[in-house]
Structure 1
Amino acid sequence: TFYQQRFFDTHVRISRDLLRTRNRERRLLDACLETRQPVVIDNTNVLADERARYLGPAKAAGFRVVCYYFRTGTRAAIARNKLREGKAVVPIPGILGTYKKLEEPRMEEGFDVIYAVTLTASNEFSVDLLAGKEPPT
């Protein structure tokens, strides 16, 4: 996955799928922010209000907030979903409903930078700057 390739060795992964409740998710986020531990939020947050629950606390704690926006059309999402098994399979109406609600991330939400991530024909991740400034290397 994108997380495994880019962040596994440096960032804690917070996933509601793994933690199962918002309370557990919030507690782990709070612990990471308090200890200055870099974190990746690995959730589908299609609404700005959903993203705000992470953005506000991270910015208040002085973190730089980077958004990796996975640009995927419904056909590609449905095709990838067919490769899943068991509980990982998302019903097609769920995919379509989520896509309908999507609010694309905006700098005004508090992001320092937004990247667009797409999957290439060879199943590699392509990352392009969408908004903001990349940090100096």
Structure 2
Amino acid sequence: MEAIILAGIQGAGKSTFSRDQYWDTHIRINYDMLRTRHREKLLIAACLEAKQSFVVDATNPLMADRERYITKAKAARFKVVGIEFQISAAIAISRNASRVGKKRVPEKAIYATAAKFQSLSFDEGFDEIWLVTVTSDGLNIEEKRHAL
């Protein structure tokens, strides 16, 4: 059982990544789709109770944002994996420009999220952290090691 916590600015490719990597194995928790924290809490509680792996597909820029998932997952003895999407605001804005309708995010929101983003840390309770570097050429994925 694992809880995957995605973190990164809008336009980084989190939703595409979660679909490509976890579609068949994890329940996708996405606030944009659920639209309320109440629904999100209910779905996470159901996953924890059923021992069902899940992925939280959200920006999660602050440690406090991620803490609400990590604490509950650890209490339920889930392995907690953080995946941080590292991307420049310029590339994210370029990718965002190709979105249509409500999927397109205002540029100022991307800049605001980038400005407040806190990198994932093992001190938060993650069992593993993976760094996804997003470039114009694609993705590079590497495991973040514990500091000695």
TM-score (normalizing by structure 1): 0.91
Identity %: 43
1:92 paired to 2:143? no
Q: 2:141 aligns with which of 118, 127, 130?
A: 127
The whole-number CA distance in structure 2 between the counterparts of 1:130 and 1:84 is: 31
**For 1:65, what is the secondary structure of its paired residue?**
strand
- CA contact 1:107–1:131 (8 Å) conserved in 2: no
**Pairwise CA RMSD:** 1.1
Q: Using the TM superposition, name which of 112-121 and 13-22 deviates more.
A: 112-121
**For 2:119, what is the secondary structure of its paired residue?**
coil
TM-score (normalizing by structure 2): 0.85
Number of equivalent positions: 131
User: What corresponds to 2:120 in structure 1?
Assistant: 105
Say which structure is richer in strand.
Answer: 2
Contiguous gaps of at least 5 residues in structure 2: 1-15
Contiguous gaps of at least 5 residues in structure 1: 133-137
User: What corresponds to 1:41 in structure 2?
Assistant: 56
**For 2:59, what is the secondary structure of its paired residue?**
coil
Identify the structure with bigger relative contact order (alpha carbons < 8 Å, sequence gap 6+).
Answer: 2
Moved over 4 A (4+): none
1:72 paired to 2:84? no
Q: 2:129 aligns with which of 114, 134, 137?
A: 114
User: What corresponds to 2:35 in structure 1?
Assistant: 20
The whole-number CA distance in structure 2 between the counterparts of 1:91 and 1:14 is: 22
Distance 1:120 1:93, change over 3 A: closer
User: What corresponds to 2:11 in structure 1?
Assistant: none
